[in-house]
Amino acid sequence: MKHWIEAARLRTLPLSVSGILVGSVYALNNPTSTVYTPTEVFNWEILALALLTTIGFQVLSNFANDYGDGVKGTDNEDRVGPERAIQSGVITPQAMKKAMIITGLLTFLCAVLLIYVSFHDEYLWYSLFFLLLGIAAIAAAVKYTVGKSAYGYRGLGDVFVFVFFGLVSTLGVNFLYSKEFSWQLVLPACAIGMLSVGVLNLNNMRDELSDRKSGKNTLVVLIGGQKAKIYHYFLVGGAMLLVLLFAFNYNGYGFRIDQYAFLVAYFPLLSHLRTVYRCEDNRRLDPQLKKLAISTFLLSLILAMVLIF
């Protein structure tokens, strides 16, 4: 059980639920909604199932990443981060493959329940769209490193993370509540997506040398470590700017100091950027993955509290 918990990489779970928190709370207090009042929109069943689906999706992605990199030999003695399950031999590839199938089925079941609770017997086309979206998300989680056409080996992992952990997570869950699209929510959705990509970029910066040696062409391998740092400043700094713009536009009553309480989370983010800037060996960036993931969750949590109060 200990090895399976380690393979699930629990430290990534807070990051994965960040978009769910913001999208859900925004539905509870959406000033631009023309369809429902907040009390008609919010549903605790949708929140619980959305969290379970997202966590299942993240765990599946982590299992698939362990499996794909393990059987390809990408996880080897040159890798800097924590030793993976298949790499260390504590879990066999066959067992991990079974775990992926079970996790995928459970996640799909949660997604189906989530769609039913959200739409019931109405909105058939919405139900079909979200069902296809759920299947696409599961397939994307697996194909990141698994198979000969794994897109994570072609520098496309950043796109996948931005779309599913930013846009789909935040905007998608909000639509499940409100049955309408909110343009205002695009700003924090993009911000969460960019910070999530930042975590992936850190991981790839840390593993640049081993990935290059094993033929895993991440975006960092394609553009080089120095340009990846500039890209990282853009991701984190751009996300901070987008959240500020969202806060400025959200409240129609003018400036209120309490609506900027999320700025507390900017201190660890700025500290993180300073550490990345000063780091001369990207292999030493491993501790920053956890720091950026927790900072993103903290930012989302405080932003959600601001939206409530």
Question: pTM for this structure?
Answer: 0.90
Residue 34 has φ and ψ, to the nearest 5°, of -115, 5
**Residue 212: predicted pLDDT:** 87
CATH of domain 2-308: 1.10.600
Question: What is the chain's mean pLDDT, rounded?
Answer: 87
**Residue among 294, 286, 308 nearest 17 (CA):** 294
Query: Residue 177 and residue 95: Cα distance in Å, rounded?
Result: 37
**Residues with Cβ < 8 Å from 292, sequence gap 6 or more?**
195, 198, 199, 202, 236, 269, 272
The three-state secondary structure class of 73 is: coil
Query: Residue 225 and residue 204: Cα distance in Å, rounded?
Result: 9
89: left (phi over 0), alpha (psi -120 to 50) or beta: left
The H or E element that residue 272 is part of is helix 266-278
> pLDDT of 66-102, one tens digit each?
888 887 776 666 666 667 778 777 888 899 999 999 9
Query: Residue 197 and residue 159: Cα distance in Å, rounded?
Result: 8
> pLDDT of 178-206, one tens digit each?
888 888 899 999 999 999 999 999 989 98
Burial class (CB in 10 A: 0-12, 13-18, 19+), 183: exposed
pLDDT over 60 (residue 56): yes
